[in-house]
């Protein structure tokens, strides 16, 4: 999936869109996407000016966005103004390697289960084939009250 298809499958926009390309997606199973991490990212101005490192919370968010694309593909739906996919939980988060400007952050997410509107995923972020971060994520689709 190129950036135009990603934009159609996620409601996120700059500066919070954290998926640049989807290399592989198998509905109901898994996704492999990536984020090109550049020095131009707004968070690097303050995290840290003398040693820029991508915040761990944004690595988790990138994984959650990949999970969102996978979920929409699995449901055969597109985002709408009537609902939102909330990031509702992170378990067993571990950060193994700092993510720096110039890195390509590969996002690997597998669906573990989906039950009563709650999706659970196994997520791993890698740089150069090495694990940078991993976690079990949970997301939920909820209607927006109007």
State the residue for tokens 């571990």. 94
Q: Which residues, in sequence order, are CB contacts of 43 under 8 Å at separation 6+?
A: 54, 55, 58
Read off the pLDDT band of 117 (50, 70, 90): confident
Does the domain at 3-143 match CATH 3.10.129.10? Answer given as yes
Q: What is the mean pLDDT of residues 114-139?
A: 96
61-89 pLDDT, tens digit per residue, is 999 999 999 999 999 999 888 888 899 99
Across the chain, what does the average pLDDT equal? 95
In terms of DSSP H, where are the helices of the chain? 3-9, 56-75
What are the residues whose beta carbons fall under 8 Å from the beta carbon of 22, sequence distance 6 or more? 1, 5, 6, 31, 32, 33, 66, 69
Give the residue extent of every domain in the chain: 3-143
pLDDT digits (tens, 9 = 90+) for 82-100: 888 899 999 999 999 999 9
pLDDT band, residue 133 (cuts 50/70/90):
very high
Catalytic (active-site) positions: 47
Over the stretch 21-71, which tens digit does the pLDDT of each residue have? 999 999 999 999 999 999 999 999 999 999 999 999 999 999 999 999 999
| Two tokens, residue 58 | 């944004």
């Amino acid at each position: 999936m190129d950036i135009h298809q990603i934009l159609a499958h996620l409601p996120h926009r700059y500066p919070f869109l954290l998926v640049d390309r989807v290399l592989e997606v198998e509905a109901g199973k898994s996704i492999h996407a990536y984020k090109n991490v550049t020095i131009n990212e707004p968070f690097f101005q303050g995290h840290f000016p003398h040693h820029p490192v991508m915040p761990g919370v944004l690595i988790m968010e990138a994984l959650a966005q990949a999970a969102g694309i996978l979920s929409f593909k699995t449901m055969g739906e597109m985002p709408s103004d009537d609902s939102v996919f909330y990031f509702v939980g992170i378990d067993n988060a571990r950060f193994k390697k700092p993510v720096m400007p110039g890195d390509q952050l590969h996002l690997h997410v597998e669906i573990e289960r989906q039950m009563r509107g709650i999706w659970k995923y196994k997520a791993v972020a890698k740089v150069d084939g090495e694990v940078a971060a991993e976690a079990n994520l949970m997301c939920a689709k909820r209607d927006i009250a109007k």
